Structure 1
């Protein structure tokens, strides 16, 4: 739903009821990820897309029905078949499970606050219960507190959903999670889709070289907050890196030790100079970051591994190092190399092979992570 947060925020300010159709599960190849929504107001105005066009008409009519009937949330399934492929089915061959519910902003003011935070770029999360007796109930997390629909009451289910939504917000991950079965904390078994609006993930580029300038541009295009760091002030200038969000003059390992990182952070070491690389990688490989890559030839890589072992870096830590950095695209120019590096970051984030799709069988869009916590395509990015 956060894909249309700006319009939903306006509709909430106007206390305009609307129907919200949200993708809560995907099987096979589908064009848009879990959490994507369409909304329809009482005047028939529609915003958003959940399938790139092939089931929009059917979803629109279902939204109008839910608004008209004022009934409980409904689930609808759309899939591919020879009979309906060009009617309401997905011609891409995938299957979508969609939750459609009526939203009354006057009775659910916490949603307007959450949408407003998302529009302003502040951290927020919205949880939707997609099945169970609480299906359609919503809860919003802002800062360290959460506010729920009256449907939850003051019972343990609401508290369990609020705690988990807060945890998802802190990790920066949108996801489908299963809760319940514990008589003390959450006796009701529920499946919850937690939509997270988090700060942009960070890309830390060390080494103020031409390759770094191209990578900064590619990283920003992908939605990263990009930092370029180098100890040499003559090279680390804003003029040389106009696409970076910040340019820092500092020793790389010293800067990394004092800056904030998380599981979505990508660390790209482009210096291939031992006096910078070794202390920096020694620290980076001991931090809970999502990706660590280092530029250099295979000879440089072998020498680097030897030095890292000498300073006590373990084999388990070394297994996290992506070096030489990037996928085998035959890249030579800084721009091509930036594509190679970002392609590897994307593949690593989604636990994908990086192989051509013509050489891979099965669905194009695959679910990554545990079945009980399904990450969307955009979680890491």
Structure 2
């Protein structure tokens, strides 16, 4: 029986993926083999000895102690793309709100409570509506920073609105490049993108390398009066620098999903309460993807969409499956294979992948090995964790 501990409120559609005869899933549970959560912060939580996997139903993983998990051989999953459509639609809302004076006009209308005559109100609005005149998105240039699952969808959306699109992504994968529309003009660096765009939409993860990538220096490259949209992560934008740029008239408007005290009360800021992925569909998609990835890992040892381990999978070839993680140094796999050979355990198939400082291995053997064999593998220098999957 696999024990899964949940945090936050997980969509029922995700929880229903777990067969009840093989899984015990609860928010209060002892000796869990896996966690399933959304935004709960786990940095201060004691890591159970039994824990082997953590699945975040969402894209960002800054609420997980990734380095500690890697050192313990715990695979951390996220669900990239599951909430992409929800975020894309909110970016569209941000573009429209930021281009047409919609929020300002709506706020003005709510001040007219002292007017009791509809005709008088209509006459006044005809006179005042010029205060809220905006501009069309048609023909404007959108700069998309980060061209992954969400960024590529935002780019496609903008092209459908007859906008021009320029993009920049220093870590663009081959898969993402194939997915990207050919009409997107790729920029060599962030500064070049900022100089070309009327609107800039950010879609990069919160990493040390992306922390405050929008700062005083980069904001100086902006086309004057441009609108910046941040529906990615608060950490990638230096809010103090944004305020200074707004005050100086370089940045025209800031639209974000991450309110901060310094951003409130400004007519050139539209701040939403972190609702980018807050749709029923996105929560269901994330929960289902997280649950499926956990089950594939627990049942088969396969890894997909991990943020700290390499992607790896192998079809079952009968017999018994052994998986183990190890520090990414030479000789470990050979030593493990020697242990199997010395104990006359026949290997049917195997695959090995590495990512930075960690490696992961799947080995199918003809029959279930004795506990002493698994103990010998666990004792090999630099091996972190070992699992046997029947």
TM-score (norm 1): 0.28
Kindly indicate whether structure 1 or structure 2 has the higher relative contact order, using CA contacts under 8 Å at least 6 residues apart: 2
